[in-house]
Amino acid sequence: MQIRLTDLIAPSFYEVHHAVKSGAATHFLLSGGRGSTKSSFAAIEIILGMMRDPQANAVALRKVKDTIRESVFEQLLWAIEKLGVRHLWHASVSPMRLTYISTGQTIIFRGADNPRKVKSGKLRNGYVKFIWYEEADEFSLEDIRTINQTFMRGGDSFRVFYTFNPPKSRKSWVHEHKNNPPPGWFVHHSTYLDVPREWLGEQFFIEAETLKARNELAYRHEYLGEDVGTGGEVFRNLTIRRISDEEIAAFDRIRRGLDFGFAAHPTHYAVMHYDATRRRLFIFFEIHKVGMSNRALAEAIKAENKSNSRVTADSAEPRTIAELRNLGVNVVGAKKGPDSVDHGIKFLQDLDEIVIDPERCPNTAREFQSYELEPDGNGGWKDGFPDKDNHSIDAVRYALEDDMKHVKVRVGNKAKIGVR
C-alpha cells in the first residue's frame, strides 16, 4: 500500500514540511490548540527524516519523565504505523527506545526533571539530528539551552521541534519567541479548523462548539490556541508591530527616559513619540544592557540623541546623573512623588494605544507584554504593581513625566485591566 504524505500532514503544515526538508530553519516553534496535529506532524517528520538520513538519530523530551510513555513515545509509534513501516522498527520499553533495524539508528527518550543531568548516551552511529520538546512551554529557556548544548554536537544539520499549546501567562518564553523569533527559527500556528474534518471525527467538533457556546474565552485558548492571558495583564492597550522609518521621520514629540541598572539588572534607555491628541505612544529605540559603564552609556546615548535633547532619568542615582552630565549628556532627574509609580502606570494604561517595535525594542516589547499583577493565592490579585522586570516601563514613565502633569487618569489599575 502506497502512503501519501498528504494523508498524514494537514495542509497548514505543507510549508513547514518543506522548510524542515530543505533545512530552511533549525528551530521550529509549533503552537496550536487541541486537534491542530502539531505533535503528529513533529513525529512524522522525525521518522521520515531518520529513514532518509542514515546518520540521523533523535531525542524526544518531556519536562516530567513519567509523562513520556503516554505522549511522545506513543506519538512516534503512531507515526511509524501510519507510515506503514512498523516492520522496519523495533520498540522497547526498558530502556524506552525506538530503533530503525537496518541501520541501528535510535530515538531515545528523556525526562528533563533535572536538565543538567540529561545525557545523550552512546549512539551506534551518527549524531542526534532531531530534538523534540513536547509541551515546550513547560521547559524554561535555560533548560532548553542546557539540553541543546548536550545534543547539538557532532553533526552539521539539526532540526529542533517545540510543540505546545500557548500558555495563558505572557511571561513564558514561547510568547517572546513567537512574537519576535530569533534568527534560524520558523514559527507556525495551527488550529483544528485547518485539519480535515474526518481526521478528528464529528464528536471532536461537537465538543469544540459546545465549549465555544458556553465559554468563548476557554474555547479560544484550548481549541484555537490563542494567547488569552491570565486576566492579570497590566497593559491591554499594546500593539506590537514594526514602526517604519517613514513614521519615525514624521515624529515630532520625542521623549527620552533612562532607568539605571545595578548588579544583574540592566540599564534601559527608551526613546518614544507621544501623540497627546490621539493618546498614542510609539516606542522605537532602546538600549538595554547589564554592566554598562557610564562612559559607554553616554556615548551610546549621544550617538542616538544627536541634538542632545533632554533625557529624564531615575533621580535615585544623582551621582550617576552628574557623571553623565560631565560626559556631555543632557540628563535630568525625574521628580518622583509618593504615588509616582502608580500614577505613571495608570497613565500608560489609560492611553488608547502603546505601539512598540519588537525588532528595534525587543526588551521593551517583552517587558510590557509580560508585566502582570501578582496572584494573591485566593484567585485574585495583590494590590499594587510589582517592582520587577519593569526596567523599560520605568524608563518610559520617566520620559513622560511632564506629559503626565495635570492629567487625571480615568480608571484605577484593577478596573482598567478588567479585574474585579
Question: Are the beta carbons of 330 and 308 closer than 8 angstroms?
Answer: yes
Calpha distance 134→161 (Å, rounded): 8
Return d(Cα 363, Cα 294) in angstroms, integer: 20
Q: Clarify whether residues 104 and 181 are in a common domain.
A: yes
DSSP code at position 69:
I
Would you state the pLDDT for residue 1?
Answer: 61
C-alpha atoms less than 13 angstroms from C-alpha of 151 in its C-beta half-sphere? 31
* Residues 28, 106 within the same domain: yes
Backbone φ and ψ of 379, nearest 5°: 90, 0
Which three three-digit cell numbers place residue 20?
524542515
Residue 206 sits in the same domain as residue 243: no
CA angle 169, 233, 168 (to 5 degrees): 20
Mark whether 278 and 244 lie in a shared domain.
yes
The predicted pLDDT at position 409 comes to: 56
Q: Between helices 38-52 and 74-82, what is the axis angle to 10°?
A: 60
Please check whether residue 224 lies inside any domain of the structure. Answer: no
Active-site residue flag, 135:
yes
Cβ atoms 169, 227 nearer than 8 A: no
Range of the domain at 394: 238-416
Task: Mark whether 192 and 331 lie in a shared domain.
Answer: no
Q: Is residue 95 reached through a cis peptide bond, with omega within 30 degrees of 0 on the bond before it?
A: yes
For residue 353, what are the CA distances in angstroms to 237, 238, 382? 5, 6, 25
What CA dihedral angle connects 183, 175, 300 and 315, to 10 degrees?
-170
- Total structural domains within the chain: 2
Grid coordinates of 116? 543538567
With contact defined as beta carbons under 8 Å apart, do 353 and 279 qualify? yes
* Contact status, residue 10 vs residue 168, Cβ threshold 8 Å: no
From 182, 214, 246, the end of a domain falls on 214
Q: Are residues 180 and 262 in the same domain?
A: no
pLDDT value for 407: 65
Q: Per the domain annotation, does 233 fall within a domain?
A: no
Q: Within its chain, how far is the Cα of 185 from the centroid?
A: 12
Please identify which residue in the block is written with the cell numbers 502606570: 345
pLDDT on residue 121? 72
Helix 318-326 × helix 294-304 angle, to 10°: 60
Mean pLDDT for back-to-back runs of 10 residues, the chain (420 residues) = 87 97 97 97 98 97 92 97 96 94 96 82 89 95 94 94 88 86 96 96 97 92 85 86 96 97 91 95 97 96 97 94 97 85 90 95 93 76 80 96 74 42
Distance CA 301, CA 315 (A): 18
Tell whether 383 and 324 lie within a shared domain.
yes
pTM of the model: 0.70
User: pLDDT at position 408, please?
Assistant: 61
- Mark whether 248 and 301 lie in a shared domain: yes
Query: What is the spatial order of strands in the sheet that 266-275 belongs to?
Result: 238-240, 353-356, 280-290, 266-275, 254-259, 311-313, 331-333
Residue 124 lies in a domain: yes
Residue 164 sits in the same domain as residue 281: no
* Residue 231 belongs to a domain: no
Residue 197 falls inside a structural domain: yes
Domain finish residue from 214, 248, 267: 214
Q: Which residue among 179, 214, 249 closes a domain?
A: 214
Domain presence at residue 222: no
User: Has residue 341 been placed in a domain?
Assistant: yes
Can you tell me the distance from the alpha carbon of 256 to that of 267, in angstroms, rounded to the nearest whole number? 14
Is 336 in the same domain as 252? Answer: yes
In whole angstroms, give the CA distance from residue 143 to residue 101. Answer: 32
- Within this chain, do residues 184 and 269 fall inside the same structural domain, yes or no? no
Provide the CATH number for the domain around residue 25.
Answer: 3.40.50.300
Per annotation, catalytic residue among 45, 134, 135, 372? 135
320 and 173, same structural domain? no
What CATH number is attached to the domain comprising 373? Answer: 3.30.420.280
Contact between 269 and 286 (Cβ < 8 Å): yes
Find the helix or strand (DSSP H, E) in which 75 lies.
helix 74-82
Query: How far, rounded to the nearest angstrom, does the alpha carbon of residue 186 sit from its chain's CA centroid?
Result: 13
* CA–CA–CA angle 26, 27, 30 (5° rounding): 140
Query: Using alpha carbons only, what angle is made at residue 26 by residues 20 and 28, rounded to the nearest 5 degrees?
Result: 70
Long-range Cβ pairs for the range 49-52 (8 Å, 24+): 49/20, 49/129, 49/130, 49/159, 50/100, 50/105, 50/107, 50/129, 50/130, 51/85, 51/88, 51/100
Per-residue confidence (pLDDT) for residue 413, from 0 to 100: 43
In a domain, 404, yes or no: yes
Measured distance CA(178)–CA(159) in Å, rounded? 17
